[in-house]
Structure 1
Amino acid sequence: MGGRVKSLKDKRLRMISIPEFFEGKNVLITGATGFMGKVLLEKLLRSCPKVKAVYVLVRPKAGQKPQERVAEMFTCKLFDRVRDEQPQWTDKVMAVSSELTQPELDLSESDKEMLIECIDIIFHCAATVRFNESLRDAMQLNVIATRELLSLAQRMKKLEVYVHVSTAFANCNRKHIDEIIYPPPLDPRKLIEALEWMDDSLVNDITPKLIGDSPNTYTYTKALAEYIVQQEVGKFNVAIVRPSIVGASWKEPFPGWIDNFNGPSGLFIAAGKGILRTMRASNSAVADLVPVDVAVNTTLAAAWYSGVNRYTRPRNIIVYNCTTGGTNPFHWGEVEYYVNVSFKMNPLEQTLRRPNVNLRSNPLLHHYWIAVSHIVPAMLFDAFLRLTGQKPWMMKTITRLHRAMMMLEYFTSNSWEWNNENTNMLMNQLNPEDKKTFNFDVRQLHWAEYMENYCMGTKKYVLNEEMSGLPAARKHLNKLRNIRYGFNTVLIVLIWRVFIARSQMARNIWYFVVSLCFKFLSYFRASSTMRY
């Protein structure tokens, strides 16, 4: 044992690289079938090829065994690069049947003993990301499951580092957020005890009072989970990584990869389809988007730093705010612009209207445009579907869209200041090769290019639309533009016939405007003739 410790110390003295740190290690990942967990697994297998094994906790679902779910996940395009670069990579992934909402994580005794004996590093990525989750379910998935995993971790004989993936919005009731764990208004252990005897109706009734100025149960329970980690950490070092709004990949495994409608992705798609026309947001508020590969690289680097320094510093918890707003700010007004431009250049298939989403901070104006550009068109569209013998669906879609917008309103209307000292320190500790391989320097992020790739990613990977269909999609978009121009022309003619033609004053104003336009065109034509 002493020789092994000495060898590890010698490696640390020369600041081993991240791939060297993971060499020969057994890693446990929760939430590996989720968005960020999937990317973490792929990056670990591809960029740390000498990792010994990766154990993933997966629950049986829809009649599928954990092994079958993992095998199905591996068919995803996300794993194309590692499939090409690392032969036999699937042999290193071990699916372990587990249910995080159950006592002892519902692990079998044999699996439990195996994990206790071999695991070196834990990445806890599993969580519910639904903002409207009931408090009981959010507590079960985000807090109680964390406590159960920590209990197992304390029994692990070789565990070096425990990495907890939280959210930068865990303390969003504060405007300035440091890289520390803030004490919660209520001890989560007392809340867990209370939930055992409360019925669901009582829990739902007291939820607003409990969460206070937190916008939803997600951010509230993620803050409680951080406190649980602080209170129940064992002999191992802990890193807490707090990504902000996790979006499509920046570079890896390829630009624009995204596989879900969560967060802004669903709104981008709705805007690209021409369904979303207005949204409550502040144009000047910072849209703290962070690419998923940036969050993953930060997470792997955080594990490395805590691991290589475990002999030189006492047991501690290091918090990393993984955000972009303070380093490379990007505002919601810019998001609006690039979403509209990107989907006009590379339109989605079968769009209903030309992409033209507008952000409005005034609530009255926003509600007016919801009625004019969302509800009325949806009702007319559904009426048309009924008349043609089809099933109406637009109002249901608009209702779901409005719910999603309401849940995001808090985050699109406010800005925060995050301290990034630990994240910057971590970046400076990497050697030049690791800075390239595990890049999370968001100062290099070019937002216009990123947003174009993000929108294209929703088309290719979420909606599974082929790039060969782009010419037809552009043709359809031009057709919609011509229909719009024709409709506006008819509307102007109707206004003329109903209002202007019946009023002498209105006709005089109309003729005056037309004569000005005619004079301007004549002047322009004369100037062009003289120039030649």
Structure 2
Amino acid sequence: MVSIPEYYEGKNVLLTGATGFLGKVLLEKLLRSCPKVNLVYVLVRQKAGQTSQERVEEVISGKLFDRLRDENPDFREKIVAINSELTQPKLALSEEDKEIIIESTNIIFHCAATVRFNENLRDAVQLNVIATQELILLAQQMKNLEVFMHVSTAYAYCNRKHIDEVVYPPPVDPKKLIDSLEWMDDGLVNDITPKLIGDRPNTYIYTKALAEYVIQQEGAKLNVAIVRPSIVGASWKEPFPGWIDNFNGPSGLFIAAGKGILRTMRASNNALADLVPVDVVVNTSLAAAWYSGINRYMRPRNIMVYNCTTGSTNPFHWGEVEYHVISTFKRNPLEQAFRRPNVNLTSNHLLYHYWIAVSHKAPAFLYDTYLRMTGRSPRMMKTITRLHKAMVFLEYFTSNSWVWNTDNVIMLMNQLNPEDKKTFNIDVRQLHWAEYIENYCMGTKKYVLNEEMSGLPAARKHLNKLRNIRYGFNTILVILIWRIFIARSQMARNIWYFVVSLCYKFLSYFRASSTMRY
């Protein structure tokens, strides 16, 4: 069996979503670990006055590609930017570009999608379903296509607690939904969206399930494979540990916790935090395409689906995530933190809203009042409002657990030769969570917030200052409570003296016991 780099040698690859988080990591890994790949056609739309070529150039000029630039300075020659709009009929390709793609493409990686949980249904269907449909129609015309690799989500069927590596029946016929959306106005679409998505939490997950069914039905004659990652996080190892470039998903919450803005969150401590590093998803995608490609003449009747998750093989819980995030940011604080990092997870509705009022809204209101008094613009309440909106979208995933079958991923791992197992590592059993979360947090500091490590001493000094302020505030609060409530009541004073004397006796007994043992 040929190795993965040998399989990609001389191949032409078509990639969508190259400007997104997952797509750009896949592009870097493909060019670095399969250096003899022929060309990578990157479908990119013009945006904000930038051409497709300029957007691709901006991506490959980033920190992510530093290692590739060192190892293979001529990698740019293999990237061909093609102007395309996935939401337009026939992907808005020019006839010339279309002809080139049809004649020469061997492998497709479809990573493009809208990942916004609050996307309106019409736009989510357009990009996640119709664009996939258009890409399949294009793939059917390709003369040398070997594999169509589609990136979905492990939560596409989150209405089930046990999810196998199969494509389940869709919640609605995609064709009927697409036809209906053509004549509905936006108001009607928004009104029926909750009824349509049913027990799925958002339009993203709903439309990704529809996209899988479209691929199964309309791509039946193609050699298709689907990779379903769970919550995609920072890189584990490649191209370097902790790389992340956005606030999406848990990254924004980690930063908010490190800044001391996020203090409470609705979550279950015991719920599985099914985080999967982005480089594991990329390695799984490249390996799955390799496996489908070398077995294309005897492909199975059903689509090969790979649940790229961690909960079944290396479980980790949200309570543990919270502990390691807070520990990391206390040792290596973010600059200009609002308060010392400390997060309380709760699944109790009343307790959650109590802590929201006490630890989020009240401090934000007081801080904004201080800013107004000093002639500055208030901003903390706006920040808290945005944070709460993000938490609402994520609490479904932090409060529930799922079981994903990963037999196909295990099979794929066993098919790799020893060298490919190292180069394209997908064995999440080797993942050490404490180390990964620390690298993740430091990645948000270095790559998202662009904070230099040389600023750590000042950040630690600022955190100590915040601690002293907190102790001082608590001391003043205790004195006020004493003066207002306890000092005016004989019964309250008696209870106070009793508690203090009990504590004193306990400490005296503990000290005496320690002396006797010595």
Match of 2:259 among 255, 273, 288: 273
Q: Which of residues 319, 342, 347 is equivalent to 2:333?
A: 347
Q: Secondary structure at the match of 1:168?
A: coil
1:280 and 1:345 map into 2 onto residues whose CA distance is: 25
Query: Once the two structures are superposed, what CA deviation does each residue of 1:97-117 show, in whole Å capped at 9, x if it has no partner?
Result: 000000010111100000000
Give the structure 2 partner of residue 211 of structure 1.
Answer: 197
1:87-102 correspondence to structure 2 within 5 Å = 87-102=73-88
- Preserved contact between residue 176 and residue 416 of structure 1 (Cα < 8 Å): yes
Does residue 45 of the first structure (1) align with residue 55 of the second (2)? no
Does residue 311 (structure 1) correspond to residue 297 (structure 2)? The answer is yes
Alpha-carbon shift at residue 378 of structure 1 (Å)? 1.1
Q: Determine the structure 2 residue equivalent to 1:433.
A: 419
- Output the TM-score relative to the length of structure 1: 0.95
CA contact (8 A) 2:274 2:315 kept: yes
Q: Deviations over 1:272-317 (max 9, x none)?
A: 1000111001111101100000111000000000001112335651
| Conserved 8 A contact 2:171-2:210 | no
Alpha-carbon distance in 2 for matches of 1:347, 1:80: 26
Question: 2:449 pairs with 437, 460, 463, which one?
Answer: 463
How many angstroms apart in 1 are the aligned matches of 2:170 and 2:301? Answer: 22
Alignment of 1:37-186 (within 5 A): 37-186=23-172
Structure 2 CA distance, aligned partners of 1:471 and 1:159? Answer: 55
Distance in 2, matches of 1:170 and 1:81, equals: 34
CA contact (8 A) 2:223 2:299 kept: no
Distance of 1:391 and 1:163 partners within structure 2: 49
Q: Which amino acid aligns with 1:84?
A: D
Secondary structure of residue in 1 paired with 2:225? strand
Distance 1:127 1:329 in 2: 28
Q: Give, as a single letter, the amino acid of the residue that structure 2 aligns with 1:268.
A: F
Given that 1:177 and 1:418 are in contact with CA atoms closer than 8 Å, whether structure 2 keeps it comes out as yes
Asked whether the equivalents of residues 121 and 193 of structure 2 are also in contact (C-alpha less than 8 Å), the reply is yes
- Equivalent in the alignment of 1:11: none
Structure 2: distance between partners of 1:238 and 1:274: 45
Asked if 2 retains the 8 angstrom alpha-carbon contact of 1:236 and 1:315, the reply is: no
Cross-structure match for 1:392: 378
In the aligned structure 2, how far is the partner of 1:521 from the partner of 1:403? 47
The TM-score, its normalising length taken from structure 2, stands at 0.98
CA–CA distance in structure 1, aligned partners of residues 255 and 15 of structure 2:
30
Distance in 2, matches of 1:421 and 1:170, equals 18
SS at match of 1:219: helix
Find the aligned partners of 1:482 and 1:313 in 2 and give their Cα distance. Answer: 66
Change (3 A) 1:524 1:146: same
Q: CA deviation at 1:525?
A: 5.3
Alpha-carbon displacement from aligned partner over 1:439-467 (angstroms, at most 9, x marks no partner): 01111111111111111111000000000
1:86 counterpart letter in structure 2: N
Query: Which residue of 2 is the match for residue 230 of structure 1?
Result: 216
Extract unaligned runs of 5+ from structure 2: none
Give the whole-Å Cα distance in 1 for the aligned partners of 2:486 and 2:80.
76
How many residues were matched structurally? 518
SS at match of 1:336: helix
DSSP 3-state at the match of 1:311: helix
In 1, distance between residues paired with 2:373 and 2:366? 11
1:498 partnered with 2:484 = yes
1:288 corresponds to which of 269, 274, 285: 274
- Amino acid in the other structure paired with 1:403: K
Q: Which of 500-509 and 102-111 deviates more?
A: 500-509
Alignment deviations for residues 429-448 of structure 1 (CA, whole Å, 9 cap, x no partner): 00000000000111111111
Q: Between the two proteins, what is the percent identity of the paired residues? A: 81
- Report Cα offsets for 1:37-61 as digits up to 9, x if no partner: 0100000000000000111001011
Shift of 1:205: 1.2
Alignment pair present for 1:481 and 2:455:
no
Residue matched to 1:447: 433
**Contact 2:336–2:462 (8 Å) recurs in 1:** yes
Once the two structures are overlaid, the 10-residue window that deviates more, 307-316 or 50-59, is 307-316
In 2, Cα distance between the equivalents of 1:315 and 1:526? Answer: 77
Match of residue 5 from structure 1:
none
CA distance in structure 1 between the aligned counterparts of 2:385 and 2:29, rounded to whole angstroms: 37
Query: Using the alignment, how far apart are the partners of 1:516 and 1:178 within structure 2?
Result: 59
Secondary structure of the 1:203 match is helix
User: Residue 18 of structure 1 contacts residue 304 of structure 1 at CA under 8 Å; is this kept in 2?
Assistant: yes
2:228 corresponds, among 242, 256, 261, to 242
CA separation in 2, counterparts of 1:353 and 1:185?
A: 45
Q: CA deviation at 1:141?
A: 0.5
Q: Decide which moves more: 302-311 or 193-202.
A: 193-202
Distance 1:230 1:529 in 2: 75
For the aligned residues, what is the CA RMSD?
1.3
Matches for 1:397-412 after TM superposition, within 5 Å: 397-412=383-398
Which consecutive unaligned segments of at least 5 residues does structure 1 have?
1-14
Assess, with a 3 A threshold, how the Cα gap between structure 1 residues 184 and 316 changes in structure 2: closer, same or farther.
Answer: closer
1:515 Cα deviation after fit: 2.8
Q: In the alignment, which residue of structure 1 is the partner of 2:309?
A: 323
**Alignment check: 8 A CA contact 1:256 1:450 kept:** yes
Cα distance in 1 for residues equivalent to 2:298 and 2:511: 80
Q: Is the 8 A contact 1:211 1:217 kept in 2?
A: yes
One-letter identity of the residue aligned with 1:216:
N
